Amino acid sequence: MPFVLGMSGGATALIAAAAAVLASCLSWIVALKITQRRKRSRIYDTSLRLGLEQPEDDGGDNIDLLMMAIERSVRAMRTESVEAAAVNSRLQEAMDSLPQAVLVFDDSASVVGHNTAAEAFIAARHSDALIGAAVAELVADALVGQSSARTLELFGPPRRTVVVTTNPLESGSGSGAVAIIEDITERRRLEAVRTDFVANISHELKTPVGAISLLAETLLAEDDPAVAERLANRILSEAIRVGHTIEDLLELSQIEVDEPVEFGIVDIGDLAAEAADRIRPAAEQAGITIQVAGSSTALSVRGDRRQLLSAISNLLDNAVKYSDQGSTVDVFATAENSEVLVAIVDRGIGIPVRDIERVFERFYRVDQARSRQTGGTGLGLAIVRHVAVNHRGTVDIESRLGEGSRFTLRFPALESNDPDASEPGVFEPGAFEPDQSSDLQPERLS
């Protein structure tokens, strides 16, 4: 009995176990069905969101078709997004090539896009921080739909004039704004050059002519020979003055002509000594010593002898004019790396910082009153700069008020084994004039 009982107990357990397995299998199958249904409905939802055609849910083949359609759609979207990224980077590249700084802001006034030029104004310091502050202020206006612009004069250095413009952006999600920062310093400077030139040239030409006609009128009615002589002398000096101005203007326009000049080989040390000799009598009269320090080697450059001499003479002339009695003007001619340079150093009145950039303009005067006394035409430095540019050279100034100025002319040096020394059109040995050929064996400076 115990066995039977045992048997029946075992069978019951077996049955119970089988039932449990069956139940769990059933529930598993049901769960699987439910999961599958859910998955299917998610796939249908996705296809609906992707805007694909909706086949009927038959629980079988249609699902596969739908899956394929979804895959196609995803592939297309991926291509599209790659294309969109390409367009975006193209746009960014185009923005980066703009000279103006462009910053795009979202509705909370944070920067969401900018070009390379704008990098200077993000987390900026010094003057740029002030531009950044102005942008922040104007962007606040733009976010409430107001376009605005502001011009900032910054003392730097360097001195700059900057215009900040902001506009609201309405397309896309939420409001936004764009800020454009433009440096108009150069434009302003050119405008000033133009207006000043017109004013100055009329002044330089009209003043002596007006004086001449007035003096002549007085002379007509004058009987006293002593007074008449004085008037005639004044007329003469005014005529000489206007004559100088016209001569310089002609020289300048000649230098400016684009026609290629036949360049020869010129020794700069030689020229510096010659220019110094020319001006020495006038300098000594004013009590100013000129010292020339030459180089022991030839300082040959390719150039136009007359133009180069005129440039060096003009600089020397200025140095003497603006020096005090008893001071010294030094002329250095040396070779440095692949350049030949002439420096004219005076200990005169110097040039104010704000005028240094402008002294090369025609007729620009640092001090109108003084320049009438010294009697220059106001064109000397303009000539110097043009000569330098014509010879692929540069001219720069170091100056300090009350301490003096240093003008340095630099030209590319002619190397002894210069391969393009015989290049046609640039340098033609046949074009030598007799006095230029002597420059090939230049005299040494004393």
Partner 1 sequence: MAEQRKSFHSELDEIRDEIVQLGALVSEFIPRGTEVLLTNDMKGALALIEADDQLDALTLRIEEQCYNVLALQQPMASDLRSIVTAVWLTGELERSGDLMVNVAKAARRIYGATLDPKLKGLIERMSEEASRLVKLSLDAYVERNASLGAAIDDIDDALDAIHGDYIEAIFESHATHDLGLQAAVQLALVGRYYERIGDHAVNIGQRVQYMVTGWLPEQTGAARLKARASFELPADLDPPGGDADAT
**Residue numbers of the site for partner 1 (CB under 8 A)?**
123-130, 132-133, 154-157, 159, 349-350, 352-354, 400-403
Q: C-beta of 385: minimal distance to partner 1 in Å?
A: 24
CB of 63 to partner 1, least distance (A): 45
Least Cβ distance, residue 252 to partner 1 (angstroms):
28
Residue 18 or 401 with smaller CB distance to partner 1: 401
CB of 182 to partner 1, least distance (A): 19
Cα dihedral 203→208→211→213 (10° resolution): -110
Closer residue to partner 1, CB minimum distance, 353 or 440: 353
What lies within 8 Å, CB to CB, of 192 at 6+ separation is: none
Closest separation between CB of residue 154 and partner 1, Å? 6
CB nearer to partner 1: give 141 or 367.
Answer: 367
181: closest CA among 202, 164, 161?
164
From 326, 323, 335, 337, select the one nearest 403 (Cα to Cα): 323
Contact 333, 295 (CB under 8 A): yes
Spatial distance between the Cα atoms of 71 and 47, rounded to a whole number of angstroms:
10
Q: How far is residue 437's CA from residue 439's CA, in Å, rounded to a whole number?
A: 5
> Between β-strands 289-293 and 328-336, what pairing exists: parallel, antiparallel or unpaired?
parallel
Which is nearer to partner 1, 98 or 154 (by Cβ)? 154
Least distance (Å) between residue 145 CB and partner 1: 25
* DSSP characters over 217-229: HHHHT---HHHHH
For residues 49 and 125, which CB has a smaller minimum distance to partner 1 in the complex? 125
Beta-carbon count within 10 A of 97 CB: 10
Nearer to partner 1, 7 or 401 (CB): 401
> Beta 328-336 vs 300-303: how paired, if at all?
unpaired
